Protein backbone atom coordinates (compact mmCIF):
# COMPACT_ATOMS: atom_id res chain seq x y z
CA UNK A 1 0.00 0.00 0.00
CA UNK A 2 1.38 3.37 -0.99
CA UNK A 3 1.74 6.07 1.63
CA UNK A 4 -0.91 8.73 1.17
CA UNK A 5 0.27 12.32 0.90
CA UNK A 6 -1.76 15.51 1.08
CA UNK A 7 -1.80 18.04 -1.78
CA UNK A 8 1.44 19.59 -0.47
CA UNK A 9 3.23 16.24 -0.19
CA UNK A 10 3.00 15.75 3.58
CA UNK A 11 2.28 12.27 4.93
CA UNK A 12 -1.39 12.03 5.94
CA UNK A 13 -1.09 9.12 8.39
CA UNK A 14 2.11 9.55 10.42
CA UNK A 15 2.16 5.81 11.17
CA UNK A 16 2.74 5.11 7.46
CA UNK A 17 6.09 6.90 7.46
CA UNK A 18 9.30 4.92 7.07
CA UNK A 19 12.86 5.68 5.93
CA UNK A 20 11.84 4.45 2.46
CA UNK A 21 8.99 6.99 2.43
CA UNK A 22 11.49 9.67 3.47
CA UNK A 23 13.74 8.72 0.55
CA UNK A 24 10.76 8.95 -1.83
CA UNK A 25 9.62 12.35 -0.54
CA UNK A 26 13.20 13.67 -0.60
CA UNK A 27 13.61 12.44 -4.17
CA UNK A 28 10.47 14.33 -5.19
CA UNK A 29 12.10 17.43 -3.69
CA UNK A 30 15.36 16.83 -5.58
CA UNK A 31 17.27 15.74 -2.47
CA UNK A 32 19.39 12.63 -1.97
CA UNK A 33 19.44 11.94 1.76
CA UNK A 34 22.86 11.75 3.38
CA UNK A 35 23.87 11.04 6.99
CA UNK A 36 23.81 14.82 7.56
CA UNK A 37 20.16 14.93 6.49
CA UNK A 38 19.29 11.97 8.69
CA UNK A 39 20.91 13.62 11.69
CA UNK A 40 18.45 16.52 11.34
CA UNK A 41 15.48 14.34 10.38
CA UNK A 42 15.95 12.14 13.43
CA UNK A 43 16.10 15.20 15.67
CA UNK A 44 12.96 16.68 14.07
CA UNK A 45 11.15 13.41 14.78
CA UNK A 46 12.41 13.39 18.40
CA UNK A 47 11.18 16.97 18.80
CA UNK A 48 7.75 15.96 17.53
CA UNK A 49 7.67 12.96 19.87
CA UNK A 50 8.61 15.19 22.80
CA UNK A 51 6.34 18.18 22.15
CA UNK A 52 3.60 16.82 19.89
CA UNK A 53 4.20 19.39 17.18
CA UNK A 54 6.58 20.14 14.35
CA UNK A 55 9.32 22.69 14.98
CA UNK A 56 9.32 26.06 13.26
CA UNK A 57 12.57 27.34 11.70
CA UNK A 58 13.73 29.38 14.69
CA UNK A 59 13.06 26.50 17.09
CA UNK A 60 14.81 24.03 14.78
CA UNK A 61 17.93 26.20 14.54
CA UNK A 62 18.12 26.67 18.32
CA UNK A 63 17.55 22.99 19.05
CA UNK A 64 20.14 21.79 16.53
CA UNK A 65 22.64 24.34 17.85
CA UNK A 66 22.15 23.16 21.42
CA UNK A 67 22.40 19.46 20.52
CA UNK A 68 24.81 19.38 17.58
CA UNK A 69 26.72 22.63 17.96
CA UNK A 70 26.73 26.01 16.22
CA UNK A 71 28.29 24.66 13.02
CA UNK A 72 25.09 22.71 12.35
CA UNK A 73 22.63 24.84 14.30
CA UNK A 74 22.48 27.75 11.92
CA UNK A 75 20.23 28.75 9.05
CA UNK A 76 22.92 28.53 6.37
CA UNK A 77 23.80 24.91 7.21
CA UNK A 78 20.15 23.89 7.41
CA UNK A 79 19.28 25.69 4.16
CA UNK A 80 22.07 23.76 2.47
CA UNK A 81 20.40 20.52 3.48
CA UNK A 82 16.77 21.59 3.21
CA UNK A 83 16.45 24.50 0.72
CA UNK A 84 13.70 27.07 1.05
CA UNK A 85 12.23 26.51 4.48
CA UNK A 86 14.38 24.02 6.41
CA UNK A 87 11.82 23.22 9.10
CA UNK A 88 8.98 22.78 6.62
CA UNK A 89 10.99 20.55 4.28
CA UNK A 90 12.61 18.54 7.07
CA UNK A 91 9.18 17.92 8.61
CA UNK A 92 7.76 16.89 5.25
CA UNK A 93 10.56 14.38 4.65
CA UNK A 94 10.39 13.19 8.27
CA UNK A 95 6.70 12.34 7.83
CA UNK A 96 5.49 15.03 10.21
CA UNK A 97 2.78 17.67 9.90
CA UNK A 98 3.64 21.02 8.37
CA UNK A 99 4.82 23.45 11.08
CA UNK A 100 1.93 25.69 12.08
CA UNK A 101 3.40 29.00 10.88
CA UNK A 102 4.67 27.74 7.49
CA UNK A 103 2.95 28.83 4.30
Active-site pick, 31, 53, 79, 102: 102
Residue 39's contacts (CB-CB under 8 Å, 6 or more residues apart) are 68, 72
Known catalytic membership, residue 91:
no
Residue closest to 17 by CA, chosen among 48, 50, 61, 63: 48
Catalytic sites, residue numbers? 102
Amino acid sequence: MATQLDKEGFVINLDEWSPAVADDIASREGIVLTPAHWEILNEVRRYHDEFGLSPINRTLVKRIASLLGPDKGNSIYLLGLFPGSPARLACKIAGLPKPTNCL
